[in-house]
Chains A and B, each alone.
Chain A
Amino acid sequence: MTTTATRPASLDTLSWLEAEGIHIIREVAAELERPCLLFSGGKDSIVMLRLAEKAFWPARIPFPVMHVDTGHNFPEAIEYRDRRVAELDVELFVASVQESIDQGRVVEEVGPRASRNRLQTVTLLDAVLEHNFDALFGGARRDEEKARAKERIFSFRDAFGQWDPSNQRPELWNLYNGKLTRGEHIRAFPLSNWTELDVWQYIKREELEIPSIYFAHERAMFRRDGMLFPVSEFVPRLPGEDPFDARVRFRTVGDMTCTAGVLSEAETLEAVVAEIAATRITERGETRADDRFSEAAMEDRKREGYF
């Protein structure tokens, strides 16, 4: 016993990431009073829920899950969400953006590019207050975007839900400080160190079921800003945006209003992983219209209390 203990060479990266994620989830469950896991049916939240399942086995997951429902979701994702929640026997809260609109808490954007993406923040913060949550697990990854590259694993939000990037707590070793001051809550990100490919490889390794929109399928699409969007009742099309049938899959599960699809023939998990491994365009660059507003779009939304 003479030298510093560092990580043993034997553990592969996926196992290492899994262990780290489980560690984080257990820390939050142990140190916070009322955590909740944000679950959309998207691939990152699917992996996160799997880690939570493993962390407490054979006990049930000791916290509820919540979905912020914009009302513009892919029906396939909602169907998957309900099935998975029933399987795990966890409590599901649905926070509805439509209700926030109906109650006048937010005003719906208008026009062909209207999105409820930004409105989610108010619905989310209202739900945090209503249910007294002091910690929210989110599936964000640091490789997604440059504001996230600097965000802590335990990320603090003030009473207004705001993130202050210049005032983050130092985070050392695997020692997370979960002490809150009044009115604060934390966002905990157990997948911080995962990349998109790690997520897909893990889904493959664990043989996790995922919503069908992640696989190639025929769908009516239209082209806008160089991206392919699904035709839906939620998006009025502009002149020239004629629908056509295409074989597509989705790289992320967001709102139908701002999630673009990619042309693909990948019908199996193997084929999807192979495509992701070979892709040359970032996930957000290719498929998320919400990040295209400005260079600092994510940083601004996070300051406002976004996921």
Chain B
Amino acid sequence: MTTAALADPLDPLGPDQRTLLRLATAGSVDDGKSTLIGRLLFDSKQTFIDQMEAIERTSRTRGEDDVNLAYLTDGLRSEREQGITIDVAYRYFSTPQRKFILADTPGHVQYTRNMVTGASTADAALLLVDARRGVLEQTRRHAYLSNLLGIRHFVLCVNKMDLVDWNRSVFEEIAEELTRFAGRMGVTDVRAIPISAKFGDWVVEPSQRMSWYSGPPLLELLETLEASEPPQHHASRFPVQYVVRPLRDAYHDYRGYAGTMASGVLRVGDRVKVMPSGAETTVTGIDAFDQQLSEATPPMAVTVRLADQLDIRRGSMIVDAEHPPIAASSIDAHICWMSDRAPLRERDRLVVKHTTQTTRALVEEVGARLDVNTLEYDLTASQLSLNEIGRVRLRLMAPLSVDPYDESRETGAFILIDEATSATVGAGMITAGE
């Protein structure tokens, strides 16, 4: 075949300028989430012939009338046996406009940690509501956690509109209720769409049966959703990951600091501070393999050269000299506890990994625990069990360079590690540090 025979309007050979949108969705059995994802993959022509043959076989074997698109997202053997999703699954699809990564998570309360994991890397949340049942506890929990994890763009799909006679007022009531709820948390960007994942209405194509809806179909909305903002609004943060010292003849004196831009813009000539020492110097070069750059923005992986020889190692942070982060020896944070081995208690000692720095922490206080059903805080709490979220104060063995999570996900997030088992037992979002 030749290039000219391509049906795809995308030119796969040209420079591909398509951006990436990362989505997180959550749901439980029967709310149509798997069908919706299957529909998105199928209608955007992302399913392959052999995959379709496999799910046709499965649908037949299980005695179903139609091909069940939900089987496209079928997971591990243990999940199929129990008929549930127990873990985060990542799905990939693309359109001529954009590429997408979708973190598909279970919605039950006992899987809160999976929902938090999926939301941690997402730009937008895809909320799914069954039109017959309206906004449920689970919907509110998903919305609340998405917001807590820093997602500011919600896409609400009111699904199964076929089962409520394509009724406009059902849709509008649900959309209003969720928009109000999101507004109370400070989320102003909520887009609501009435859909039927089973029949495809307003998923990829417009629907004649709901011509009263005037917005774009779901896929088009996702293609155009502006979920990012210019890095200029933030102070520069560059956590040092690895010190590059070639020790080869051609680059004998080369000394560079490799890392991933966490926030802001770093430019050659910038006056910077090196945390935690606070020493100041100037950026003399930004290297990316065979290219010398004049500036770097998130999430570029680059190697930075500086004017002065300073004590810089993994865990140091190169930052805007005018707007440094907080050098915190104590932090307040929202923590989602993820261990089934033991609860998080005051006086516990844990390992903290924040950016590229690892230190130890002492749990000084568990101040409040969130009831993920009522979304109210219990101020009398003194410990957090598996899947519980609370406000916690940690005292740090070595200071960390932090920003509030609301301002920067990259320098406001940390994980907690159990020293005995090496397991990841908690996820933290910093609210304050001193």
B230: chain A residues at CB < 8 Å are 8-9
A177: chain B residues at CB < 8 Å are 353, 415, 417, 422-424
B316 beta carbon closer than 8 Å to chain A: no
Pair B228/A274 contact, Cβ less than 8 Å = no
B90 beta carbon closer than 8 Å to chain A: yes
Please give the distance in Å from A1's CB to the nearest CB on chain B.
5
7 further A-B pairs in the complex, CB-CB below 8 A; given A165-B76, A172-B424: A55-B301, A170-B424, A270-B3, A270-B13, A281-B48, A285-B48, A295-B54
B298: chain A residues at CB < 8 Å are 5, 7-8
1/0 per residue, CB under 8 A from A, across B399-423: the answer is: 0000001111110011101000111
B241: chain A residues at CB < 8 Å are 23, 26-27, 30
B234 beta carbon closer than 8 Å to chain A: yes
Pair B422/A179 contact, Cβ less than 8 Å = yes
B150: chain A residues at CB < 8 Å are 4, 6
Please give the distance in Å from A211's CB to the nearest CB on chain B.
21
Pair B260/A180 contact, Cβ less than 8 Å = no
Complex alpha-carbon distance, A47 and B123, angstroms: 27
1/0 per residue, CB under 8 A from A, across B64-76: the answer is: 0000000000111
A126 beta carbon closer than 8 Å to chain B: no
- A residues with CB within 8 A of B: 1-20, 22-23, 26-27, 29-30, 53-60, 142-143, 146-147, 149-150, 165-166, 168-175, 177, 179-181, 184, 192-193, 195, 197-198, 201, 204-205, 265-266, 270-271, 273-282, 285-286, 295-296, 299
Pair A6/B227 contact, Cβ less than 8 Å = yes
Q: A5-B234, A142-B90 are in contact. Are A277 and B244 (CB under 8 A)?
A: no
Pair B244/A59 contact, Cβ less than 8 Å = yes
Complex alpha-carbon distance, A56 and B242, angstroms: 9
B330 beta carbon closer than 8 Å to chain A: no
Contact of A23 among B1, B123, B301 (CB under 8 A): B301
Pair A278/B8 contact, Cβ less than 8 Å = yes
Q: A5-B231, A12-B17, A59-B246 are in contact. Are A170 and B299 (CB under 8 A)?
A: no
Pair B87/A150 contact, Cβ less than 8 Å = yes
A296: chain B residues at CB < 8 Å are 76-77
1/0 per residue, CB under 8 A from A, across B7-29: the answer is: 11010110111111010000000
Tell which of A8, A11, A146 has the most Cβ of chain B within 10 Å.
Answer: A8
Pair B408/A170 contact, Cβ less than 8 Å = no
Please give the distance in Å from B344's CB to the nearest CB on chain A.
14
Complex alpha-carbon distance, A273 and B6, angstroms: 11
A142: chain B residues at CB < 8 Å are 90, 92
B133 beta carbon closer than 8 Å to chain A: no
Interface residues of B in 16-61 (CB under 8 A from A): 16-20, 22, 48-51, 54
Complex alpha-carbon distance, A27 and B301, angstroms: 12
Contact of B20 among A13, A23, A279 (CB under 8 A): A13
Nearest 9 pairs of A and B residues by beta carbon: A285-B50, A277-B12, A22-B301, A179-B422, A59-B246, A172-B120, A54-B289, A19-B301, A4-B150
* In the complex, residue of chain A having the shortest beta-carbon distance to the beta carbon of B250: A58
Contact of B152 among A3, A12, A201, A266 (CB under 8 A): A3
Q: List 26 A-B contacts (CB under 8 A).
A: A3-B152, A4-B150, A4-B409, A5-B234, A8-B228, A8-B231, A11-B19, A12-B19, A19-B300, A22-B260, A22-B301, A26-B242, A26-B258, A26-B259, A54-B301, A57-B289, A58-B248, A58-B287, A59-B251, A142-B90, A165-B87, A168-B87, A177-B423, A204-B13, A278-B7, A299-B77
A173: chain B residues at CB < 8 Å are 120-121, 409-410, 413, 415
- B residues with CB within 8 A of A: 1-3, 5-8, 10, 12-13, 15-20, 22, 48-51, 54, 74-78, 86-92, 94, 99, 101, 113-114, 116-117, 120-121, 123, 150, 152, 226-231, 233-235, 241-242, 244-248, 250-251, 254, 258-260, 262-263, 287-290, 297-301, 303, 314, 323, 338, 351, 353-356, 405-410, 413-415, 417, 421-424, 427
Q: A3-B233, A59-B246, A179-B422 are in contact. Are A171 and B117 (CB under 8 A)?
A: yes
Pair A149/B75 contact, Cβ less than 8 Å = yes
B16: chain A residues at CB < 8 Å are 12-14, 201, 205
Contact of B351 among A18, A179, A184 (CB under 8 A): A179
Q: A6-B409, A150-B76, A179-B417 are in contact. Are A166 and B86 (CB under 8 A)?
A: yes
Pair A170/B117 contact, Cβ less than 8 Å = yes
Pair B301/A9 contact, Cβ less than 8 Å = no
Pair A6/B12 contact, Cβ less than 8 Å = no
Pair B92/A143 contact, Cβ less than 8 Å = yes
